């Protein structure tokens, strides 16, 4: 059994519409799930909206004040991600932060003619060898090209570049936000799913996650689809964030290489 939780504190400065992407995806069976949102201590009702691939978004309207969001759930094993008819078309397309079209020649330069599982492993190794994990080194508007030039970033950045390289070499790839038991330092994590040999496999360009323990939150093209907080309208400042994730049975050993599906 995996336990996951998160909490956010926000200063809402005007009437605002907020979307949280913190709830575990529909693919996982859940028990004891609760999502509570308060504004200056009074409960606030959230609307649940289903995005693609079972992503669950929670939307609230809030006036000015101190907003607190707390989420917790006990998580069971997920069904493997299904392969939808348009998946290998949609996830080859360039996206906001995975500008695979701009990086086509660059990806070829570093990865050559390899295909399928081979190019996936080659791209993952390239990230491990060339992208330094460096919190604070990147900005919210940075995409794969900027990460390629800077050679530094956080999980989001490394995943974007990994996705861009793989799409450029013909491998459908997408971003998954996740709870990651054992992650150091603990935070929301971002990993990559690749469509190879008829199934979606998870890889981690940072090497930080124990993949068999990951719990899926949101699935999409890139961070534009998976941000844990989106301010749709109005102004709100994030003041605090805490994430926790554990696996009561202990972490599953993971060499990073063998094929793993998000379960």
- Residue among 146 and 244 whose Cβ is closer to a second copy: 146
Burial of 82 (0-12, 13-18, 19+ CB in 10 A): exposed
Smallest separation (angstroms) from a second copy to the CB of 146 = 10
Cβ(163)–Cβ(173) below 8 Å: yes
- Residue among 1 and 49 whose Cβ is closer to a second copy: 49
- Residue among 18 and 155 whose Cβ is closer to a second copy: 18
- Residue among 73 and 144 whose Cβ is closer to a second copy: 144
Smallest separation (angstroms) from a second copy to the CB of 17 = 9
In the chain, what's the furthest Cα-to-Cα distance?
58
- Residue among 77 and 115 whose Cβ is closer to a second copy: 115
Smallest separation (angstroms) from a second copy to the CB of 116 = 12
- Residue among 84 and 251 whose Cβ is closer to a second copy: 84
Smallest separation (angstroms) from a second copy to the CB of 1 = 30
Summarize as ranges the residues that interact with a second copy (CB under 8 A). Answer: 19, 49-52, 57, 59, 85-86, 88-90, 92-96, 99, 101-103, 105-106, 109-110, 130, 140-141, 145, 148-151, 170, 224-225, 230, 232-233
β-bridge partners, 237: 11
- Residue among 183 and 228 whose Cβ is closer to a second copy: 228
β-bridge partners, 20: 58, 229
Contacts of 188 (CB under 8 A, 6+ apart): 6, 177, 178, 179, 217, 228, 243
**How far does CA 11 lie from the centroid of its chain?**
24
The secondary structure of 176-235 as a DSSP string is: EEEE-TT-SS-S-EEEEEEEETTEEEEE-TTS-S-GGG-EEEEEESSHHHH-SEEEEES-
Query: How far apart, in whole angstroms, are the C-alpha atoms of residue 206 and residue 132?
Result: 9
Smallest separation (angstroms) from a second copy to the CB of 134 = 13
Smallest separation (angstroms) from a second copy to the CB of 234 = 9
The C-alpha angle 83, 156, 231, rounded to 5 degrees, equals 95
Smallest separation (angstroms) from a second copy to the CB of 238 = 16
Burial 17-31 (b: 16+ CB within 10 A, else e): ebbbbbbbbebbeee
């Amino acid at each position: 059994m995996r336990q996951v939780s998160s909490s956010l504190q926000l200063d809402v400065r005007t009437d605002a519409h907020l979307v949280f992407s913190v709830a575990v995806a529909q693919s996982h069976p859940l028990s004891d799930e609760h999502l509570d949102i308060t504004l200056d201590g009074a409960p606030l009702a959230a609307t649940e909206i289903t995005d693609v691939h079972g992503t669950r978004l929670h939307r609230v309207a809030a006036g000015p004040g101190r907003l607190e969001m707390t989420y917790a759930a006990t998580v069971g094993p997920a069904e493997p991600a299904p392969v939808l008819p348009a998946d290998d078309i949609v996830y080859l397309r360039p996206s906001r932060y995975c500008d695979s079209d701009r990086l086509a020649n660059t990806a070829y330069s570093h990865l050559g003619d390899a295909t399928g599982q081979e190019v996936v492993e080659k791209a993952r190794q390239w990230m491990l060898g060339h992208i330094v994990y460096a919190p604070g080194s990147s900005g919210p508007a940075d995409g794969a090209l900027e990460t390629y030039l800077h050679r530094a970033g956080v999980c989001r950045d490394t995943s974007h570049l990994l996705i861009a390289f793989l799409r450029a070499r013909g491998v459908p790839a997408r971003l998954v936000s996740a709870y990651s038991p054992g992650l150091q330092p603990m935070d929301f994590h971002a990993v990559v799913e690749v469509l190879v040999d008829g199934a979606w496999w998870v890889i981690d360009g940072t090497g930080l996650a124990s993949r068999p323990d990951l719990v899926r939150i949101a699935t999409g093209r890139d961070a534009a689809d998976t941000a844990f907080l989106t301010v749709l309208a109005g102004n709100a400042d994030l003041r605090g964030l805490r994430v926790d994730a554990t696996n009561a049975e202990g972490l599953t050993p993971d060499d990073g290489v063998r094929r793993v599906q998000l379960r």
